[in-house]
Amino acid sequence: MRSSKLSVIIARMDRWPDAANAEEQYKIRDLDSAIRELKRTLQPPWTLVKGSLRVFPDVKEYPVASGHDELAYLDKSNVESYSGAARFYNTSHQQFYEMVMANRNLLTELWDEGTKMLGVDYKGDGLSSLLLNNAETASEYTGSGDAGTPVKDTVFYKKGNASIKVPITLSASTATIKNTVTAFTDSDYKSKYHFKWIYFPSVPTSVTLRLQISDTAYIETTGITTQFAGQAFKAGQWNLVAQDLNEATEVGTISTASSWASEKIILIGAGTGNYYIDDSNLRQWELFDYWYYSRFFVKTLSSETPDQEFFFNSSEIYSTDSELVGDDEWVDVIMYDALLITINVKENDKIYDEIRRRRETAWNALEAKYPDMTPLITTQRYRFNNNPI
């Protein structure tokens, strides 16, 4: 991993008298400003990170990696030829949901109240999705604790033709909703996720999701506080919750030959109101290579990899032992861009012009060597024959 220590960059900047006379903290702030400005123009390849993403049938919103800044590309991890590639059509937020090219795999970056997500609409065949319960038969549901008697609702639903409405009255702060499923066995259950749709009139403190053999033998995930795609629970909206059955906690005797017979969703701290339950599914996933540009450019002394966006951290502290990761062309561009900010304050025209010339040379070398791989967003326009309205 190539990098340049902050102390070395500062020493090079101090070669210019006007920079040497500037206070150190301001030179470092100028370096951070240069990093910030360069990100608007170019995503350098050494910030590329290869991650992985589990893609499911009929699931369109996915969480991004913790260091995700911009998406590079996504494709199946087992591709051996061009014909086997997913070849995603990268489009806008709006047209992703409008299913512009319904026969193509669609990809985009999504935002929801400050939370970035990936939009992935994969049309691949061969992935199984077992519908556990379509939430259209009230007799299959029971409520206990703060949860009252479930009833069928044919007006308000997410999938199909109905949902199950469950009145909750806040009292003991625990509302349990149980439903039966058509009993099934699955020797490969650990390689799947358990999904369930639920509508919150108000956001509970947390959710527990269970897949049960019986009330004494089950697999569960407790303390769920976000939707599957990573965004916060939303009041007044449908929320998709999920659990990874390989990471969930097993209680009681469970084997690959076990017969699964019911589900439970337990709401902790759910406020008084009508809650709605809809489809639940057991879904198989396919592993994709998920390449993204990291938002981290600086490596601190104790880290083996970049772990900080700028030299100043979130506590407004810097260390001259920190390093700017990247090739020399990158470091030169950052340094000269920062010098232009520093020298401009001093208003020295001759030195400013010389640094600007060097900066342009460094920029040309960087752009020629490292083209940006950020995917272009493609949108479509519609033409309606003989109907201008």
Q: What count of Cα atoms within 13 Å lies in the side-chain half-sphere of residue 208?
A: 18
Assess contact for 262 and 207: CB atoms under 8 A.
Answer: no
Average pLDDT, stretch 340-367?
Answer: 70
Query: In 215-319, which ranges are E strands?
Result: 217-224, 237-244, 249-251, 259-268, 273-284, 286-294, 298-299
Q: State the fold for domain 129-284.
A: Jelly Rolls (2.60.120)
Query: Has residue 360 got a pLDDT over 90?
Result: no
pLDDT for the residue 103: 81
- Model pLDDT, residue 301: 93
Mean pLDDT, the chain, whole residue set: 89
The helix or strand, by DSSP H or E, that contains position 28, with its residue range, turns out to be: helix 24-39
pLDDT tens digit sequence for 142-191: 999 999 999 999 999 999 999 999 999 999 999 999 999 999 999 999 99
**Which amino acid, one-letter code, is at 224?**
I
Residue whose entry in the numeric block shows the structure tokens 């020493």: 11
pLDDT tens per residue across span 244-272:
999 999 999 999 999 999 999 999 999 99
CA-based torsion, 362, 363, 366, 369: positive or negative: negative
- Residue 359: its pLDDT value, please? 72
* Domain layout of the chain by residue ranges: 3-45+299-369, 46-127+287-293, 129-284
The C-alpha atoms of residue 365 and residue 228 are separated, in whole angstroms, by: 43
Mean pLDDT of the region 196-209: 97
For residue 346, pLDDT over 70 is answered with no
How far is Cα 35 from Cα 57, in angstroms, rounded to an integer? 39
Q: What is the reported pLDDT for 385?
A: 57
Give the model's pLDDT for residue 366.
67
The pLDDT value recorded for residue 343 is 79
271 compared with 363, residue with greater pLDDT: 271
Digit-coded pLDDT (tens) for 78-112: 766 666 688 888 888 888 888 766 788 899 999 98
**348 versus 284: which is more confidently predicted?**
284
Span of 209-213, 274-278, 331-335 with lowest mean pLDDT:
331-335
For the stretch 12-29, pLDDT in tens is: 999 888 888 889 999 999
Q: What is the pLDDT of residues 140-151, one digit of tens each?
A: 999 999 999 999
pTM (two decimals) = 0.83
- What are the tens digits of pLDDT across the range 28-81? 999 999 998 888 778 888 889 999 999 998 899 999 999 999 898 898 887 666
